[in-house]
Amino acid sequence: MILAAVACIVLVLWVMGNASRDPYVQATRMLNGDADHGGQVFRINCAGCHGIAAQGLVGPNLHGVADRRSDPSLIHQVVSGATPPMPRFEVEPQTMADLLAYLKSLE
């Protein structure tokens, strides 16, 4: 059991370390995001689970999420849908940068 837990921790650290070198993550982080457009993207695609004000419903409350998770981690979570039942959400880097700017605006 302990060996499985250690293996999971190592795997998570490896994935997160590689996420920052991902070309999509790098392209997204080089762009200036528009929080207003990101809010529109959020309301259309994410509010059904996270709530219209990101207060949490099926998905968690996202206020302060940018303080708890790094940009690469947030981007990876959104595009991979790594935590079921969250679906994969694949968009061009500018839209992801906009969504990231919106998430950073949530206090």
Return the DSSP state at 52.
T
Q: What is the mean pLDDT of residues 71-97?
A: 94
How far, in Å, CA of 16 to CA of 75, rounded?
A: 11
Neighbours of 90 (CB within 10 A): 12
pLDDT in tens, 40-80: 999 999 999 999 999 999 999 999 999 999 999 999 999 99
Q: What is the CATH number of the domain that holds 97?
A: 1.10.760.10
Of residues 24 and 10, the one with the higher pLDDT is: 24
Instruction: Among 19-28, 68-77, 97-106, name the one with the lowest average pLDDT.
Output: 19-28
What was the pLDDT predicted at 82? Answer: 87
Contacts by residues 67-70 (CB-CB < 8 Å, ≥ 24 positions apart): 70/16, 70/20
Contact 38, 98 (CB under 8 A): yes
Full domain range(s) for residue 24? 2-105
Q: How many domains does the chain have?
A: 1
Of all residues in the chain, the percent with pLDDT exceeding 70 is 82
How far, in Å, CA of 99 to CA of 36, rounded?
A: 9
What was the pLDDT predicted at 69? Answer: 96
